[in-house]
Amino acid sequence: MPLMVKIGANVRHWRTLRTLTQVELAKKAGMSQAALVRIEKNQADPHVSTIRKLSNALEVSPEQLILDGET
């Protein structure tokens, strides 16, 4: 499975586990909701800095967004 697909699915997984809406997560990560939607739908390949912002906002490690979500 391509890395981008795992990131999108993992961001959605952790966001729903944290009971955050896309709007709330986007605000916490300092990005637009549109950008977050594109990442979750695998329409964008996020930059490393974006992965870091999302991991900080979700309180997980960047690896947990890149790998299977079980790390």
pLDDT per residue of the chain (71 residues) written in tens, 0 to 9: 555 568 999 999 999 999 999 999 999 999 999 999 999 998 998 999 999 999 999 999 999 999 864 44
Distance CA 66, CA 8 (A): 9
Task: Tell me the C-alpha distance between 69 and 58, whole Å.
Answer: 12
Q: What is the CATH number of domain 3-60?
A: 1.10.260.40
Rounded to an integer, what is the distance from CA 12 to the centroid of its chain?
Answer: 6
25 near 58, Cβ under 8 Å?
Answer: yes
Quick one: pLDDT at residue 47? 93
pLDDT at 68: 66
